[in-house]
Homo-oligomer: A and B are copies of this chain.
Amino acid sequence: MKNIISNINKAFDHRVRLGIMSVLMVNEHADFTTLRELLGVTDGNIASHIKALEKKDYVKVEKSFIDRKPNTRYIATKKGREDFQKHIDAIESLLGQQQLKP
């Protein structure tokens, strides 16, 4: 039997990752500082979660220069968007259907 949490993706199962992905779902890209400020977590914390999402191919990094200053920005990949949507659908369906048979 399939269990009720099997569609919840471990790679997204943390509030910082939920936060990063939800920002990147509706914005073409976001830079490190923006993400850090929106999420209110430390550099190291956010970096480690981004790294994990990168490793899964859910987020990609673009490095460039803006006014000669280095700028790093993050973009959700197609796979990232698709799998995150599935994750959200799994949470919603988990919340909607757990009435046990008497």
A residues neighboring B (CB under 8 Å): 1-6, 8, 10, 13-16, 18-19, 22-23, 25-27, 30, 34, 37-41, 88, 91, 94-95, 98-100
Contact partner of A100 among B1, B18, B30, CB < 8 A?
A: B30
CB distance from A88 to the nearest CB of B (A): 6
Per assembly, the copies of the chain total 2
B27 touches A94 (CB 8 A): no
CB distance from A51 to the nearest CB of B (A): 18
CB distance from A49 to the nearest CB of B (A): 11
A18 touches B98 (CB 8 A): no
A19 touches B40 (CB 8 A): no
A2 / chain B contacts, CB cutoff of 8 Å: 40
